[in-house]
Amino acid sequence: MHLPSDLVFRVLIWGTVILASLVTGLVITGAVIQFQRDRQNRRRITLFQAWERDLTDHLFSASGTATPFPEIAKRDRPVFQKFLARYHSTLAGQEAEALKSLYLQLGVHDSLPARLQHRLAMVRAQAAQEIGAFRLTEYLEKVVPLLTDPIPYVTHLAAQALTRSGDLRYAQPVLDWVLREERYQRDRLLRVLEGFGPEFLPWLEEHLDPPEVAPEPWILFALLAGSHRHRPSEPRLLKLIGTPQVDIQASALKALAALADPLTYPKVEPLARHEAWPIRAQAAKALGLIGGPDAVPSLMELTCDPVYEVRRNAAQGLADLGHAGTSALTWLAEDPTADRFARDIARERLEWTDERGHQ
């Protein structure tokens, strides 16, 4: 079947016109949306700049008398909420309380329960952030369900709100949330758990199941003890390096290295000969920080280890010992009869320390 040529021509013309109209409409729509966003951003920046000046006058008046903060237009209150939540984390003491008073004067805190259940993730996240920033403890129970929110940044802000309260009643749900995450994410989430403060570590010791039953929480315990430099946790860490789980032992050794207590050397040194290379690698790092000259023989032996990470940590451990360790590395690098892997790692570490002026 053949269509008349003039009909085909008209179809092509109208098809081209319709397609061009659709493309033009999409371009115009995109341009309008971008223009509106640019205008909103410019307005937000202008408001933030003005509020920063007003906030400085309000909090740090040279006369000693607080300057009243200007009235906030109703249409600008959502932006002002974000402004206050952003700056509250940079203040403490009376200034933080004054900022909280400004927030409460807005009267928007009454809407927090509804906003925590809002269909939009950004609204839920903002509500959780406000509760955490301004320590609105009366709303914390309503934040707990957000720990199972499908949007990751909502759960993150919910966890921050709960930990910033310092209330250990919420330690278990936050801990459960961290343990549900992939292990590679947990180092990043340690900063959230640190919000509970140093009392969180004794709470963990009291409430966690034994390591052989639930090893994962004890890995977090060790990492937190190291990041907090929490010396009261040292006895527990020394017990953990004797557990059969490699990940717990490695984490506990990492924490003991951070504590750098020379008295732990007799317990750590035997692990330099452990069959699992992650244990030997962490032991090498720890010995360099706690062993002193007595650690040189063990570290020299580890520079010949078949695993590169162990050799690298052993060489770094020797460098951390100061003159005694550097002298051992120099001898090793110049000894033609030494293991070639050990010579290479010694030369590499000596070059590294020389570049940085570490002798």
The pLDDT of residue 82 is: 83
Closest CA to 307 of 281, 286, 333: 281
**CA separation for the pair 164, 150 (Å, rounded):** 22
**CA separation for the pair 139, 62 (Å, rounded):** 36
Closest CA to 129 of 101, 103, 106, 98: 103
Q: CB count, 10 Å around CB of 341? A: 14
Buried residues in 278-299 as b, exposed as e (16+ CB within 10 A): bbbbbbbbbbbbbbeeebbebb
**CA separation for the pair 287, 283 (Å, rounded):** 6
**CA separation for the pair 116, 155 (Å, rounded):** 11
Can you give 327-345 as a three-state secondary structure string?
HHHHHHHHCCCCCHHHHHH
Per-residue pLDDT of the chain (359 residues; tens, 9 = 90+): 566 777 777 878 888 888 888 999 899 998 989 989 888 889 888 988 888 888 888 877 655 566 788 888 888 888 888 888 887 777 777 888 888 888 888 888 888 999 999 999 999 999 999 999 888 999 999 999 999 999 999 999 999 999 999 999 999 999 999 998 887 777 778 889 988 988 999 999 999 999 999 999 999 999 999 988 999 999 999 999 999 999 999 999 999 999 999 999 999 999 999 999 999 999 999 999 998 889 999 999 998 889 999 998 999 889 888 888 888 888 888 888 878 878 888 888 888 766 444 44
Q: Which CATH class is domain 264-359?
A: mainly alpha
CA 242 to chain centre: 29
Nearest 10 degrees: Cα torsion 91, 96, 102, 104: 130
The pLDDT of residue 62 is: 58
User: pTM (2 decimals)?
Assistant: 0.77
**CA separation for the pair 278, 25 (Å, rounded):** 60
Token look-up 């750590």 returns: 268
CA 10 to chain centre: 63
269-278 contacts: CB < 8 A, separation 24 or more? 269/295, 269/298, 271/241, 272/298, 272/299, 272/301, 272/302, 274/249, 276/246, 276/249, 277/305, 277/307, 277/309, 277/310, 278/246, 278/247, 278/250, 278/309
**CA separation for the pair 157, 125 (Å, rounded):** 6
Kindly state the DSSP code that residue 182 receives in the 8-state scheme.
-
Give yes or no for a contact between 196 and 163, defined as CB atoms under 8 angstroms apart.
Answer: yes
The pLDDT of residue 356 is: 44
Q: Where are the domains of the chain?
A: 81-195, 215-259, 264-359
The pLDDT of residue 1 is: 57
Q: CB count, 10 Å around CB of 155? A: 21
The pLDDT of residue 102 is: 82
Give the three-class secondary structure for 36: helix
